[in-house]
Amino acid sequence: MPRSNIKTFRKGGLPIKVTIKEVAKHAGVSISTVSLAINKKERVSEELRQRVVKAIDELNYRPNGLARSLKSKKSKVIGLIIPDIVNPFFPLMVRGVGDTAKRFGYNIILCNTDGEVKEEATFLRLFEEKCVDGIIFTCAGRIKKSLSLLNELSIPKVILDRRLDDLSIPTVTVDNTKGAYMATCHLIGKGKQRILFISGPDQLQSSLDRLNGYQQALTENRLAVHPELITYGDFSFEGGQKALKDVIANKISFDAVFGANDMMTLGAMMVLSEFGLDIPGGIEVVGYDDILLASLFKPALTTVRQPAYEMGCEAVKMILRAIHSKKTWIPSKVFEPQLITRESSPGN
Amino acid sequence: MPRSNIKTFRKGGLPIKVTIKEVAKHAGVSISTVSLAINKKERVSEELRQRVVKAIDELNYRPNGLARSLKSKKSKVIGLIIPDIVNPFFPLMVRGVGDTAKRFGYNIILCNTDGEVKEEATFLRLFEEKCVDGIIFTCAGRIKKSLSLLNELSIPKVILDRRLDDLSIPTVTVDNTKGAYMATCHLIGKGKQRILFISGPDQLQSSLDRLNGYQQALTENRLAVHPELITYGDFSFEGGQKALKDVIANKISFDAVFGANDMMTLGAMMVLSEFGLDIPGGIEVVGYDDILLASLFKPALTTVRQPAYEMGCEAVKMILRAIHSKKTWIPSKVFEPQLITRESSPGN
DNA sequence: TTGAAAGCGCTAACAG
DNA sequence: CTGTTAGCGCTTTCAA
């Protein structure tokens, strides 16, 4: 009964994949029995099940996921769009997404937009064609721009690390306003009065929120918000360097620096050192994100930690909820930021 | 003729996806004409093509990739297995893979093994079920262990950043022996005689190769290979710290440090600073990889650069070659390492 | 409990 | 140039 040569070869030399049909024949049962044995084990008699298992094993059968998905309308794939995996903030988040997805039997297609909004459309279309079951999306620019694209799709989606005013799509975020508020208050508590704020790109809501938190902290502590102490960078190391050099060139005085992300802040710190300014003796510095680099740099950077890994995990759980419950509305999740004090601005 | 409500809704409220059938009806042609118009534009008269395009547009039709792939036996997906995206060496490589894949119309499924060899089997099986067109693989441990798994699959594959003795599977690597040789010679050239080598995990061929290069450089320069100067780490920052602390605790003297990767080397440098050892005045330090961190650290790290991004690109081109030409054998590619001299061990 | 058969959405012979 | 049709490999009614 069992054939001697397990694999059949076609001309090219590649082994032809074993199909459910051959398993059925080999086990002496019908196709549907094999399918049932695989998917609904209970509904097949023990004897036949055994025979099927044996056949599967002997033929080294692997169900064709494409056919399966085509039929079942479930691909067990989640599409993940992020700006750039090379940006040190994202790898941890991606790990969170990947690990959690795997835990629940899902896999991810990873796409980097590299900050190009038009790429988002391409990837979204791709996801539709690939029939992904859900989409986790971290947009590159203004969320508004991407929103219409997203809303066209009937695929469940979650927005990650980007806040949205309306509640049309669930989001996973950190309270950026609060994080910046905490950092600024910390600096104020250390007696700082002229805190330089290096903001991020103003298309990002996160940037605006952080700027807001900074201003709020100043105001609440009856400190003036000096426009010349608010500068902008592009979230890169070089951007931070440039921002600080400009400030220094303009002879604007400050007694502390708070950067809207760690990379810029580190860049700024580098310039501070170059100009012989002591950290934290002269200038205290606080960043935002808590990337690995922050703790390894000299001096180690005080920063506002975002739970990137957990955010990734949460996004997956949320998308799974959206996939399985047919509910229209899924509540968003806001994580708490956490101030990590290190050498660049020690705790009290 | 055109229906007024574009999308049909099923009970749940989700729009049903438009199929080729509906496009055909809407355009008043057969489904094969639609298919031809999409895939082989030349073979359809201009008039019908126009009508099809119009219908596709009006119905907002998106071909179902699953059905397509099932029929055509091409998924346009490449499976990528790496140890850990959080390891700073990999993101650039992944970008290279992702960007190049995208350029050629492919997409990637990303899987982290987290160093677990058994995970590799899971992902490989997954790839088979998902019918990926090719696999790019960076194994976690000994390549030998994973080799039998890989060879079972009839899917084209490329091994990335891992050297293989036999030529059964094409690889993309950097000449690790040469890189380590260059770094060691550089240090010797600066008059160093007792160069501490922090090796990586000895299951990895890359580690062994680098160790080899180190020894070769010493031997060729008539310097003794002192076993006590060879220590091991796990490629992590903490691993490097620990390795160096042990060496110091054992009162082993050295005048330079060469680490098998940047993270460990940075960790070692940290310990050096803690012990008040001047870099490069007292001890010179060289790393391996040239991760972003290396250039940003103080002092900036002299290191052997691996072209991670280009390696990722090359792996994709290679896998594409393997997919398209039915050739059994694809030549491997070996990149040249490059010594980048910075503050921790300046050039001459 | 098991099998026959329909069909998921698409591609590509093949026939006209 | 265009349409008819037979599957790709699987899941899932529906009957037996």
- Give B104-126 pLDDT, tens digit per residue: 999 999 999 998 989 999 999 99
Domain containing residue B51: 20-72
User: Is residue A342, in this structure, part of any structural domain at all?
Assistant: no
| pLDDT single digits (tens) A227-252 | 999 999 999 999 999 999 999 999 99
Of the pLDDT bands very low, low, confident and very high (cuts 50, 70, 90), residue B263 is: very high
Scanning every strand, the nucleotide with its C1' closest to A47's CA turns out to be: C1
- In CATH, what number is assigned to the domain containing residue B247? 3.40.50.2300
Residue A107 is predicted with a pLDDT of 97
Q: Which DSSP symbol is given to B336?
A: P
| Protein-proximal positions, strand C, CB < 7 A | 1-5, 7-13
Which residues are CB-neighbours of A200 under 8 A, at least 6 positions away? A206, A207, A210, A232, A233, A234, A235, A260, A261, A264
Residues B142 and B108 in one domain: yes
Residue B265 is predicted with a pLDDT of 98
Residues B90 and B153 in one domain: yes
State the total domains in chain A.
Answer: 3
User: Is residue B246, in this structure, part of any structural domain at all?
Assistant: yes
Residue B261: both structure tokens together: 């990767």
| pLDDT single digits (tens) B217-236 | 999 999 999 999 999 999 99
- pLDDT mean over A79-107: 97
Residue A70 is predicted with a pLDDT of 96
Residues B90 and B54 in one domain: no
Report if pTM > 0.85: yes
d(CA A305, CA A307): 6
Residues A215 and A333 in one domain: no
Q: Report the run of H or E that residue B338 belongs to, with start and end.
A: strand B338-340
In a 10 Å sphere around its CB, with 0-12 CB exposed, 13-18 middle and 19+ buried, how is residue A348 labelled? exposed
Residues A41 and A137 in one domain: no
CB-side neighbour CA atoms (13 Å) of A64 = 19
| pLDDT single digits (tens) A22-44 | 999 999 999 999 999 999 888 88
Task: Give the whole-number percent of chain A exceeding pLDDT 70.
Answer: 95
d(CA A342, CA A300): 6
Supply the mean pLDDT for chain B.
Answer: 92
Residue A126: both structure tokens together: 């791709």
User: Is residue B1, in this structure, part of any structural domain at all?
Assistant: no
Instruction: Tell me if residue A15 falls in helix, strand or coil.
Output: strand
Lowest mean pLDDT, pick from A162-171, A237-246, B172-181:
A162-171
- Which single residue is written with the structure tokens 């059968």? A61
Residue B40 is predicted with a pLDDT of 87
- Position B298 pLDDT exceeds 60: yes
Question: How far does the CA of residue A205 sit from the closest CA of chain B (Å)?
Answer: 26
What DSSP letter does each residue of B58-80 carry, written as one string?
A: HHT----HHHHHHHHS---EEEE
Count chain A–chain B contacts defined by CB atoms under 8 A: 127
Residues B203 and B252 in one domain: yes
Scanning every strand, the nucleotide with its C1' closest to B61's CA turns out to be: C9
Supply the mean pLDDT for chain A.
Answer: 92
What stretches of A221-307 show up as alpha helix (H) in DSSP? 237-249, 262-274, 292-296
d(CA A338, CA B185): 46
Instruction: Say yes or no for a CB contact (<8 Å) between A77 and B296.
Output: no
- pLDDT mean over A84-112: 97
- In CATH, what number is assigned to the domain containing residue A55? 1.10.260.40
User: Is residue B348, in this structure, part of any structural domain at all?
Assistant: no
Residue A15 is predicted with a pLDDT of 58
Which residues are CB-neighbours of B310 under 8 A, at least 6 positions away? B96, B335
Q: Which one of A135, A296, A344 makes the best mutation probe of the B interface by having the most chain B beta carbons within 10 Å?
A: A296
- Position A12 pLDDT exceeds 50: no
Residue B5 is predicted with a pLDDT of 34
Report CA dihedral (B48, B53, B57, B59) to the nearest 10 degrees: 40
- pLDDT mean over A111-124: 94
Residues B248 and B104 in one domain: no
Question: How far does the CA of residue B54 sit from the closest CA of chain A (Å)?
Answer: 18
- pLDDT mean over A260-286: 96
Residue A1 is predicted with a pLDDT of 29
| pLDDT single digits (tens) A129-151 | 999 999 999 998 888 888 988 99
Question: How far does the CA of residue B222 sit from the closest CA of chain A (Å)?
Answer: 37
User: Is residue B14, in this structure, part of any structural domain at all?
Assistant: no
Task: Give the whole-number percent of chain B exceeding pLDDT 90.
Answer: 83
**Residue A71's CB: how many other CB atoms inside 10 A?**
11
- Position A125 pLDDT exceeds 90: yes
Q: List, in sequence order, every residue forming a beta bridge with B110; answer none if it has no partner.
A: B80
Chain B partners of A292 at a C-beta cutoff of 8 Å? Answer: 88, 237, 293
Residues B157 and B278 in one domain: no
Residues B200 and B274 in one domain: yes
Residues A300 and A315 in one domain: no
Residue A280 is predicted with a pLDDT of 96
- Which single residue is written with the structure tokens 């910075």? B342
Residues B296 and B188 in one domain: yes
Instruction: Say yes or no for a CB contact (<8 Å) between A297 and B292.
Output: no
User: Is residue B342, in this structure, part of any structural domain at all?
Assistant: no
User: Is residue A14, in this structure, part of any structural domain at all?
Assistant: no
Q: Which one of B16, B17, B62, B66 makes the best mutation probe of the A interface by having the most chain A beta carbons within 10 Å?
A: B66
- Position B14 pLDDT exceeds 60: no
User: Is residue B8, in this structure, part of any structural domain at all?
Assistant: no
| pLDDT single digits (tens) B71-104 | 999 999 999 999 999 999 999 999 999 999 999 9
Residue B15 is predicted with a pLDDT of 58
Residues A168 and A313 in one domain: yes
- Position A9 pLDDT exceeds 60: no
Nearest to B100 by CA among B306, B308, B315: B315
d(CA B85, CA B83): 7
Of the pLDDT bands very low, low, confident and very high (cuts 50, 70, 90), residue A2 is: very low
